[in-house]
Structure 1
Amino acid sequence: MAREYPDAIILGLSTNGGSGQYFIEQVMAHTPTPILVLSTRIADRHSPSAVAALVAGALDALPAPDSWSAELESQLRHTVRQISKVRAIRHPRGGLARISTADPTKPGSGRQAVVALAASTGGPKALATVLAGLGGLNAPVLIVQHLNPDFTGGLLDWMARASALPVEIATHDGVAQPGRVYLAPGGSHLRLAPNRRLELGSTPVTTHRPSADELFRSVAEHTGSAGVGVIMTGMGDDGARGLLEIHRQRGQTLGQDQASCAVFGMPQAAQRLGALTTLLPPEQLATAILRAVSLVRA
């Protein structure tokens, strides 16, 4: 039981052993407090150590200088005053069981569900809501969000802060691990390849790159009925035909409902093709995804 309730916590990380991340997770799960991480291992907010701290629930992560000047001390005091005013929100990861570290290149017996989400206009906010509710999900999550490549880093930061699961930018030939979220990098298609490998590519030339259709079609091809496709708010019809392929493979297909969409274009296009089985608001999509994955693994 926590006995101290500080206005803010400044945490110095000197190693990458994971103890600092665990501490952040526990604080944010049980006694939510604004946390500022300072570390010599952090070059900027996109550094792996910074991303890990933000994923765990820290409010900000900054490089620690080799020596402190009066100006740097003043900046730190200002930052601490600012974050101490922020109302910390409970972060679920500290209350979850740790994900298995078994070799991801050797999938276990039985079918492995793969979840694919796609969004465009209004997508980041809706995606953040869904990811916050996916704690304990035993499937990889692949995401296509139509976005200018210059904003990919900002999207990563936002999703990492909101998500109950670790979030990273997808890398070519990486293995999609259960319980992790992979964002398509700006300007590159994200596809699922055999053995849960991730594939990035610049072709085909499409209106949107990354393309939701490319992601959904690859999931349909390589997971069959174990695929779970989710199409969310956005303009146009990208993703509708790919989602139909998942539906034809008897995978499970979900969409964001019209009332909660900034633009209902993408879900509506999928609905018109008969590709959707369910339409729900973002706060209910997470529960539907968890159930869909549990049915695959049943």
Structure 2
Amino acid sequence: MTEPAIRPRPGRPIRLLFIDDAPLDRSRLARILQSDGDIVSLGQVPTGPAAIGLVAREHPDVIVLGVSTLDGTAQSVIEQVMAQTPTPVLVLSTLIEDRQSPRAVEALVAGALDVLPVPQRWTPELEAALRRTVRQLSRVQTIRHPRGGLVRSAAAAPTAPIRSRPTVVALAASTGGPKALATVLAGLGGLAVPVLVVQHLHPDFTGGLVDWMSRVSALPVQVAEHGQEARPGQVYLAPGGLHLRLAGGMRLELAATPVTIHQPSANELFRSVARHAGAAGIGVILTGMGDDGAEGLRDIQRANGQTFGQDEETCAVFGMPRAAYRLGAVSDLLPIEQLAAAVLRSAGRGTT
């Protein structure tokens, strides 16, 4: 997919800290990242308590975490950073050459914002892409994980109208989404309606994401196929590079058009649910950058469906839910831990 250009920013340089569980070519990476002058290295440290302490003292703008072993240390580092000193984490791994490793998805679920393979050879194009990624991540506001003290009760959902069509749940997420999706899907036990999911993710990550979600979801998870019937109690994940839409007769539709920044697109999914499920549609917009999904969620609301968004405190990035909220497209903004219950309540009033 095509991403907007992220150019060097004027003013204070981006302060970057390297943490790795086994030696990478640190000097080469430092040279690559600092070559444009807008990124500076605070140094390189091995994983462990000293690294967590250094993050707390120095407050880097971005952490580059090198992952070369399978001992789970890297995931622990991510979780500790996000719990103590929330910082955008980019994982560079020698273990995901095909970008389908469950390790990559585990890092995203732990709180990393992006995962990239370490190439066999750094080309100028790959070097430039790495710098663009660091610049993009430096602009992300991160939120503390895990979050404690969430004692607010979910607002009572408005009474749903009587529905004449089968209920369909549509979930959409982007940056920070795998962890949020894992939380929601784990709480949907007993849901007897189809669940359609769009996650902005590189196509090569789809297999790993499905494997991970299958392990944590209370419902069976599969990659959506064109033309298949959306069955109750099943989760259908959009494949990378294709839009997932609900079509007539509760069939699923995959399409490469329209060409959009994000493929799959949350707007495409939500609009199709509004069109074919109407008041029986339930839309949920989760953490992510940008505004994809806001207009589509408004369509579900205008069709008298139910709409929910993840609240700011529990979002890794509040961009997508904020955009939907500003459009008036969200009935309730709720903590991530309360969204599954809200979906179950809403679906329970309207299933047929």
Question: Normalising to structure 1: TM-score of the pair?
Answer: 0.63
* 340, 347, 350: which one aligns with 1:286: 340
Identical amino acids, percent of aligned pairs = 69
- Contact 1:235 1:264 (C-alpha < 8 Å) held by counterparts: yes
Alignment of 1:167 with 2:231, yes or no, is no
Aligned to 2:197: 143
User: Which residue identity does 2:246 align to in structure 1?
Assistant: L
Aligned to 1:221: 275
Give per-residue Cα distances to partners, 1:181-206, cap 9 Å, x unaligned. 00000000000000110000000010
Aligned equivalents of 2:336 and 2:346: distance in 1? Answer: 15
Alignment of 1:129 with 2:175, yes or no, is no
Unaligned runs of 5+ in 1: 1-45, 47-108
Alignment of 1:247 with 2:301, yes or no, is yes
**1:28-39 equivalence runs, <5 A:** none
Partner-residue secondary structure (3-state), 1:246: helix
- Contact 1:146 1:208 (C-alpha < 8 Å) held by counterparts: yes
Give per-residue Cα distances to partners, 1:101-135, cap 9 Å, x unaligned. xxxxxxxx953100000000000000000000000
> How many residues get paired?
191
Unaligned runs of 5+ in 2: 1-99, 101-162
**1:74-153 equivalence runs, <5 A:** 110-153=164-207
Aligned equivalents of 2:326 and 2:299: distance in 1? Answer: 14
Q: CA deviation at 1:296?
A: 1.2
Aligned equivalents of 1:157 and 1:282: distance in 2? Answer: 21
Aligned equivalents of 1:276 and 1:194: distance in 2? Answer: 25
- Contact 1:142 1:182 (C-alpha < 8 Å) held by counterparts: yes
Give per-residue Cα distances to partners, 1:191-245, cap 9 Å, x unaligned. 0000110000000010100000000000000011000000000000000000000
* 285, 289, 299: which one aligns with 1:231: 285
Say what the alpha-carbon RMSD is for the aligned residues: 1.3
Partner-residue secondary structure (3-state), 2:196: strand
Question: Normalising to structure 2: TM-score of the pair?
Answer: 0.53
> Could you list the runs of 4 or more consecutive aligned residues of structure 1 that deviate by over 2 angstroms after TM superposition?
none
Partner-residue secondary structure (3-state), 1:138: coil
Q: CA deviation at 1:254?
A: 0.3
* 165, 182, 195: which one aligns with 2:249: 195
Partner-residue secondary structure (3-state), 1:126: helix
Aligned equivalents of 1:274 and 1:194: distance in 2? Answer: 27
User: Which residue identity does 2:187 align to in structure 1?
Assistant: G
Partner-residue secondary structure (3-state), 1:190: strand
Partner-residue secondary structure (3-state), 1:254: strand
